[in-house]
């Protein structure tokens, strides 16, 4: 089973006592820099180790310490791991946001809070659990200055009791988290136990959220998309990486650095890679272009502001035909926007990034597994088509924890594309860099340093003919641009195919891409179970759009294009691409609040557009 | 010029004739300093016996940046975007450090739009020869002032420059380039010797070559004209270069001459002219440049050299083979590695 599928089960809404068993969303409200990340990861892993599908999403500020952050853990027996709109259980640790957090909960939700905040009087329709964190922590942590750090572990213990988590799993998760730091692990384990004991003796369970052991996570991994992308790039044989730090892409390269140092240094101490922190994104992409020209598998990772800076070089890469891989971990724009929130807001701009007629191949990973596999696809496509390839991830995918099947070892060989060697030149006598000898619009190239007097050619961003010579002739320019367009057309058949779900015979179709996928999976079940509406679903994985997209639209009365931006960007790209008679079938569902898309919002909007 | 038909054409130590180093016909203005620099590059590469296929020519945008089309057609070349040649060159060298990277830029390309990348390139001491063909104006956009124009220098239109120039040499020395000098396109001997030494050097060579623009900045009142340079060119030293593959047959007087042993065993000999000058002293170099500037002199010569400074590639510690062409099994770790990583994520 691919990790983008869910465990489809009959959803029963009637039995309320069962409803929140292995199906709830739990939110921890803290301030950033308070060390709550370890506690949250341990909670997440404990649920995971009990075999229950789970996901973790960090909603954090663009700040180093002291501002509110929310971490949401969703456990779901059906395997829905997208964001759930409602919070079922709030752990309120931040005085500053507690009131608003509590007031925004749906009736029936539960709240665990630090005693002095005295939240119970705020609402009569919620379940409250008051815990004297400071008193408990004082009993397990004699050293006052460490208390702040272990305080969060108390709620892990309390929640273990309230949810029915197995403390053996909690301890396993905790020891994994602290790895070799045995003393810290012992101290924190003491705190977790104290929390558990307090809950057992002083709290009585009143809310319905519970866990029960399942077997849906055996063999699975938990990983964020940036780590997956880093791994994919390493196994794709990347040799040159250049970057300029920017959230949410930095961790991609930082993780890659760690892995490369561990696995890509030879026994003689020599690295089979070069990673350079550039002075800005202009330089980062410039280095990638230079390295790609000279034959390296070169990549960079960035986010919106960096993409803006890369525009001129992107056009150069397209026009002089140089492979490059650029990861865009999309965040909310325009401008600095919301640097720590997610979006799919760079899609339209990136598709045509640069002045002049320009088009770029884009890949849309939806899962961590696809971050891994598309890292390899990206290099193979970039080198085959001799062009920049943009991998459009996003903050939700890149920085949050996702459950996945382990990644399969690559079976595709590393395809370096059409490169002529000295021996080829001996045989051929010469070559013309931009001549379409194979009818696919892709010329053959040589690498600098090729030891043959006919190997060299002149790469220029100004007008050039088949032989890469300077030209201002109208026919040369036009022929070259038409060839580039043909080459781009050819990519439709070679980019990752769309993934389709449903019978294929429904009237309503849905098109989505990237992380919107998780909301769609769940929303389709909601549409079926709550409204009796069956739908077919096509998940796009690449631009230019593969041929099956038109067939899909052809076969449906209405097609909803769901995405996470304001201006319906992919919808717009489809409109540019499709025959006019198909355009009228498209409807847009676009969300742009910076939070990962949730199923409920899609279901509601789709039903209202359906006239219900 | 006609030679006797029986005579074998002259060849260099790798058996190539000077023709093998030629480029396309220049499209720059007749008399443009940039053309003379192209000629000297051809001579230097020929005399040093550099395999043209090992050279990668890189440039930005401008008349100067076009010039790589006019020398060494047997070398790969990359005419990139305005002011960004340093990053493209860096990428190319990262991919293949066996290339001899030759960057050609203009004063506009370097000191205005490209100053950021220039600064960081110098800082890295990437193995690369960086030539600024410096005419004090933007030739290709028809003669606006550049940031190397001297204060008080005058455009043809009468506009006077009232901002101080950026001294790219002082900047390069301060930032970490390991071989920095200035020359003049009209001084064949000096430029040729410096270019040959540049080829022998390991690390960033930054040469600011005053290269008059005959069309937009060669008039009375310009400080980058042929006439001005004839009157104000103040060579620091008399430069000679003895490549590693030639016998040293001339002695030198250590009292008057500094002998620098280059990384490859070549010798750069700097015979002092007026002043006692130590080209290995950074502080002194910058002070000398500043003084000359105050005196209104255009100093030329080798200002600074450190033949043994570790280059960026040394710091990166990459494989001896170019990264670009490492075989698949060298760049894709085995399945056991993936298994190990997957296990750690369970
Ligand atoms: C981004 C960008 N801005 C402006 C230009 C226009 N432009 C082309 S060459 C040039 C100046 C070149 O001056 P210099 O580097 O001194 O070269 P020269 O022609 O004097 O040799 C400018 C501004 C451009 N090509 N790209
Ligand atoms: S305009 Fe000036 S810089 Fe450009 S080619 Fe003519 S003389 Fe040279
Ligand atoms: Mg100029």
Lowest mean pLDDT among A4-8, A239-243, B186-190, B286-290: A4-8
Q: Is residue A315 part of a domain?
A: yes
Same domain, A250 and A383: yes
At which of A462, A491, A520 does a domain end? A491
Same domain, A183 and A249: no
Residue whose Cα lies nearest atom 13 of ligand 1: it is B138
Rounded mean pLDDT of A414-427? 97
Q: Is residue A217 part of a domain?
A: no
Q: Is residue A536 part of a domain?
A: yes
Q: Using a 6 Å CB cutoff, which residues line ligand 1?
A: B 61-64, 82, 106-109, 133, 135, 137-141, 146
| pLDDT at residue number B250 | 78
Cα dihedral A412→A416→A417→A420 (10° resolution): -140
Which residue, chain included where needed, has tokens 């999403």? A57
State yes or no: pLDDT of B204 exceeds 60. Answer: yes
**Could you tell me the pTM of the whole model?**
0.96
Q: Is residue A27 part of a domain?
A: yes
Lowest mean pLDDT among A13-17, A42-46, A290-294, B159-163: A13-17
User: B208 φ, ψ to 5°?
Assistant: -95, 110
Interchain contact A467–B (C-beta under 8 A): no
State yes or no: pLDDT of B2 exceeds 50. Answer: no
Q: Where residue A8 falls among pLDDT bands split at 50, 70, 90? A: very low
Nearest chain A residue to B51, by CA: A451
Q: Is residue A212 part of a domain?
A: no
Q: Cβ distance A419 to A445 under 8 Å?
A: yes
Q: Is residue A592 part of a domain?
A: yes
| pLDDT at residue number A10 | 42
Same domain, A427 and A374: no
ipTM over 0.85: yes
Is the domain covering B18-324 a CATH 3.40.50.720 domain?
Answer: no
Answer with the residue of higher pLDDT: A505 or B2. Answer: A505
**Listed residue (A403, A369, A367, A397) closest to A48, CA to CA:** A403
Q: Where residue A207 falls among pLDDT bands split at 50, 70, 90? A: very high
Same domain, A267 and A336: yes
pLDDT (tens digit per residue) in A541-573: 999 999 999 999 999 999 999 999 999 999 999
Q: Is residue A286 part of a domain?
A: yes
* Per-residue exposure over A506-530, b if at least 16 CB sit within 10 Å of its own CB, e if not: bebbbbbbbbbbbbbbbbbbbbeee
Rounded mean pLDDT of B304-329? 97
Q: Cβ distance A188 to A38 under 8 Å?
A: yes
Whichever domain contains A367, its CATH number is 3.40.50.970
Whichever domain contains A23, its CATH number is 3.40.920.10
Domain ranges, residue A449: 422-491
Residue whose Cα lies nearest atom 6 of ligand 1: it is B141
Tell me how far apart the alpha carbons of residues A423 and A455 are, in angstroms, rounded to a whole number: 11
Number of domains in chain A: 4
Q: Chain A residues with CB inside 8 Å of B89's CB?
A: 290
Same domain, A354 and A467: no
Handedness of CA B146, B150, B152, B155 (dihedral sign): negative
Q: Which long-range contacts (CB under 8 A, 24 or more apart) does A35-40 make?
A: A35/A148, A35/A149, A35/A152, A36/A69, A36/A71, A36/A93, A36/A152, A37/A71, A38/A152, A38/A153, A38/A177, A38/A178, A38/A188, A39/A152, A39/A153, A39/A155, A39/A156, A40/A71, A40/A73
Same domain, A194 and A235: no
At which of A347, A376, A404 does a domain end? A404
Same domain, A88 and A235: no
Q: Is residue A540 part of a domain?
A: yes
Same domain, A504 and A443: no
Same domain, A578 and A599: yes
| pLDDT at residue number B5 | 56
Mean pLDDT in chain A?
95
Nearest chain A Cα distance for residue B76, angstroms: 4
State yes or no: pLDDT of B6 exceeds 80. Answer: no
Same domain, A376 and A442: no
Tell me how far apart the alpha carbons of residues A66 and A31 are, in angstroms, rounded to a whole number: 5
**CA-based R_g, chain B, Å:** 21
Q: Cβ distance A26 to A112 under 8 Å?
A: no
Residue whose Cα lies nearest atom 4 of ligand 1: it is B82
Q: Where residue A16 falls among pLDDT bands split at 50, 70, 90? A: low
State yes or no: pLDDT of A451 exceeds 70. Answer: yes
| pLDDT at residue number A584 | 96
Same domain, A349 and A272: yes
Nearest chain A Cα distance for residue B228, angstroms: 34
Exposed / middle / buried, residue A467 (Cβ in 10 Å: 0-12, 13-18, 19+)? middle
Rounded mean pLDDT of B21-37? 98
Q: Chain A residues with CB inside 8 Å of B73's CB?
A: 456
E strands of A333-477, at which residues? 338-342, 361-363, 388-394, 401-404, 458-460
Question: Who contacts B163 (Cβ-Cβ below 8 Å, separation ≥6)?
Answer: B147, B149, B151
| pLDDT at residue number A64 | 81
Question: Who contacts A603 (Cβ-Cβ below 8 Å, separation ≥6)?
Answer: A523, A526, A527, A530, A531
Same domain, A193 and A230: no
Indicate the SS3 state at residue A227.
Answer: helix
Give me the residue spans of the domains in chain B.
18-324
At which of A170, A202, A234 does a domain end? A202
State yes or no: pLDDT of B322 exceeds 70. Answer: yes
Residues forming beta bridges with residue A28, ordered by sequence position: A71, A91
pLDDT (tens digit per residue) in A489-513: 999 999 999 999 999 999 999 999 9
């Amino acid at each position: 089973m691919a990790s983008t599928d869910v465990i489809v089960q009959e959803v029963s809404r009637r039995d309320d006592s069962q409803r929140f068993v292995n199906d709830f969303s739990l939110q921890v409200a803290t301030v950033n820099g308070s060390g709550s990340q370890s506690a949250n990861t341990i909670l997440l892993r404990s649920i995971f180790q009990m075999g229950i599908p789970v996901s973790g999403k960090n909603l954090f500020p663009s700040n180093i310490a002291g501002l509110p952050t929310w971490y949401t853990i969703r456990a779901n027996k059906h395997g829905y791991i997208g964001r759930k709109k409602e919070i079922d259980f709030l752990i309120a640790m931040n005085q500053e946001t507690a009131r608003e957090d509590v007031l925004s909960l749906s009736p029936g939700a539960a709240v665990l809070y630090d005693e002095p905040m005295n939240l119970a009087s705020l609402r009569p329709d919620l379940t409250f659990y008051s815990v004297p964190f400071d008193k408990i922590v004082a009993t397990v942590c004699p050293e006052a200055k460490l208390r702040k750090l272990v305080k969060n572990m108390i709620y892990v213990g309390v929640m273990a009791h309230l949810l029915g988590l197995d403390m053996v799993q909690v301890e396993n998760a905790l020891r994994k988290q602290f790895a070799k730091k045995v003393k810290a692990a012992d101290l924190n384990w003491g705190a977790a136990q104290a929390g558990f004991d307090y809950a057992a003796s002083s709290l009585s369970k009143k809310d319905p959220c519970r866990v029960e052991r399942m077997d849906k996570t055996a063999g699975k991994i938990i990983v964020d998309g940036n780590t997956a992308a880093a791994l994919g790039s390493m196994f794709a044989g990347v040799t040159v990486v250049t970057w300029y730090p920017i959230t949410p892409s930095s961790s991609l390269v930082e993780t890659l650095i760690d892995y490369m140092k561990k696995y890509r240094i030879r026994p003689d101490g020599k690295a089979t890679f070069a990673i350079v922190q550039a002075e800005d994104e202009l330089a980062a992409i410039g280095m990638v272009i230079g390295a790609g020209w000279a034959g390296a598998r070169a990549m960079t990772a960035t986010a919106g502001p960096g993409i803006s800076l890369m525009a001129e070089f992107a056009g150069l890469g397209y026009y002089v035909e140089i492979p490059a891989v650029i990861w865009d971990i999309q965040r909310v724009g325009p401008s600095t926007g919301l640097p720590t929130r997610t979006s799919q807001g760079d899609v339209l701009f990136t598709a045509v990034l640069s002045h002049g007629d320009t088009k770029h191949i884009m890949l849309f990973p939806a899962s961590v597994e696809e971050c891994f596999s598309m890292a390899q696809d990206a290099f193979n496509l970039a080198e085959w088509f001799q062009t920049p390839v943009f991998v459009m991830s996003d903050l939700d995918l890149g920085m949050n924890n996702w459950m996945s099947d382990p990644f399969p070892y690559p079976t595709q060989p590393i395809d370096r594309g059409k490169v002529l060697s000295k021996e080829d030149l001996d045989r051929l006598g010469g070559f013309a860099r931009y001549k379409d000898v194979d009818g696919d619009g892709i010329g053959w190239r040589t690498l600098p340093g090729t030891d043959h007097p006919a190997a060299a050619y002149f790469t220029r961003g100004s007008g050039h003919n088949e032989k890469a010579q300077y030209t201002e002739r109208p026919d040369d320019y036009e022929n070259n641009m038409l060839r580039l367009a043909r080459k781009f057309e050819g990519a439709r058949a070679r980019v990752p195919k769309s993934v389709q779900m449903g019978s294929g015979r429904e009237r309503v179709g849905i098109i989505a891409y990237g992380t919107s996928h998780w909301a769609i999976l769940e929303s389709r079940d909601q549409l079926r179970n709550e409204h009796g509406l069956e739908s077919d679903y096509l998940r796009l994985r690449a631009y230019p759009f593969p041929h099956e997209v038109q067939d899909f639209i052809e076969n449906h009365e209405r097609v909803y294009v769901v995405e996470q931006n304001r201006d319906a960007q992919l919808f717009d790209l489809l409109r540019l691409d499709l025959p006019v008679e198909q355009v009228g079938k498209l409807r847009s569902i676009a969300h742009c609040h910076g939070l990962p898309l949730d199923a409920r919002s899609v279901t509601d909007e789709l039903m209202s557009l359906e006239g219900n | 010029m006609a030679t006797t038909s029986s005579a074998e054409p002259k060849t260099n130590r790798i058996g190539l004739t000077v023709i093998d180093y030629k480029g396309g016909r220049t499209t720059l203005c007749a008399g443009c300093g940039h053309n003379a620099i192209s000629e000297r590059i051809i001579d230097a590469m020929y005399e040093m016996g550099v395999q043209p296929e090992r050279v990668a020519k890189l440039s930005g945008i401008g008349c100067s940046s076009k010039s790589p089309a006019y020398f060494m057609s047997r070398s790969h070349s990359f005419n990139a975007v305005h002011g960004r040649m340093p990053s493209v060159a860096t990428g190319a060298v990262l991919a293949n450090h066996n290339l001899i990277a030759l960057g050609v830029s203009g004063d506009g390309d370097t000191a205005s739009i490209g100053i950021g990348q220039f600064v960081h390139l110098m800082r890295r001491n990437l193995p690369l020869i960086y030539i600024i063909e410096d005419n004090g104006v933007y030739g290709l956009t028809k003669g606006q002032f550049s940031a190397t124009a001297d204060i008080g220098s005058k455009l043809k239109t009468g506009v006077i420059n009232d901002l101080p120039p950026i001294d790219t040499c002082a900047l390069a020395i301060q930032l970490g380039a390991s071989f920095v000098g200035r020359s003049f396109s009209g001084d064949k001997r000096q430029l040729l010797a410096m270019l040959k030494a540049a080829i022998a050097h390991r690390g960033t060579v930054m040469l600011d070559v005053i290269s008059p623009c005959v069309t937009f900045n060669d008039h009375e009142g310009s400080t980058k004209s042929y006439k001005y340079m004839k009157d104000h060119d103040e060579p620091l030293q008399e430069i000679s270069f003895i490549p590693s593959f030639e016998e040293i047959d001339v002695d030198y007087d250590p009292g008057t001459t500094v002998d620098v042993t280059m990384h490859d065993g070549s010798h750069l000999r700097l015979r002092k002219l007026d002043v006692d000058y130590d080209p290995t002293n950074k502080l002194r170099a910058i002070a000398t440049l500043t003084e000359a500037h105050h005196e209104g002199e255009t100093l030329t010569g080798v200002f600074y050299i450190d033949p043994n400074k570790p280059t960026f590639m040394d710091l990166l510690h990459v494989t001896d083979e170019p990264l670009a062409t490492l075989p698949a099994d060298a760049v894709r770790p085995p399945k056991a590695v993936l298994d190990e990583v997957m296990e750690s994520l369970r």
